[in-house]
Chain A
């Protein structure tokens, strides 16, 4: 059973601060995806990282995949109140059918950015 541990579980910061959230596993994933989920809504894909050591940037968000493809981080620069939400990481593994990827989700980091 693959497990993804996210930390911290809760994070409350002031507008303008930087933050990093972490996603760790003992399993190797073929790719790792970061999602943002609003209350009562489905997860919305932010980014997919595939190659060990890969870094992707999405405006003020920087995503990194660990060299061994077991862990990832999300760094937000100059956080804004609009960044408030639940951030989920999900590891993708090829399913037993060989033609699909199933996702294993972490519990998420609930970020609150105070004005």
Chain B
């Protein structure tokens, strides 16, 4: 069964530092997404990416966030200057037609 792979599984960073979360989507998928889940809260949409550009972003996805597909396999989420409230599980997902998602196992980001 194809998987979405995320690294690292855990990341601890100091407030104000930059972090890059990495994802390898399923190879024949065309749509890529980042979601996040703050402890005890709902899974929330951050951004969708298609055809090498952002197709939609939520109000959470402000100027401190960026996404990139630097090569044919990786999809990254960068947070430029982390805040305490950025602590959450970050999930990458991909889909072929935008209906059935495959999620990765997530990166637990802790900002201290």
Interface residue ranges, A against B (CB under 8 Å): 31, 33, 35, 40-45, 48, 50, 88, 90, 92, 94-108
Query: Interface residues of B: mostly helix, strand, loop or mixed?
Result: strand
Residue of B nearest to A101 (CB): B98
Interface residue ranges, B against A (CB under 8 Å): 4, 31, 33, 35, 41-45, 48, 50-51, 54-56, 89, 91, 93, 95, 98-106, 108
Q: Are B100 and A99 neighbours in the complex by a CB distance under 8 Å?
A: no
Contacts of B105 in A (CB 8 A): 40-42
Contacts of B33 in A (CB 8 A): 100, 102
Residue in A42, A43, A48, A98 whose beta carbon sits within 8 Å of that of B99 in the complex: A48
How far does the alpha carbon of A97 sit from the alpha carbon of B54 in the complex, in Å?
Answer: 8
Q: Give min CB distance, A32 to chain B, whole Å.
A: 10
- A101-B99 CB under 8 A given contacts A40-B106, A41-B105, A42-B106: yes
Q: Are B55 and A33 neighbours in the complex by a CB distance under 8 Å?
A: no
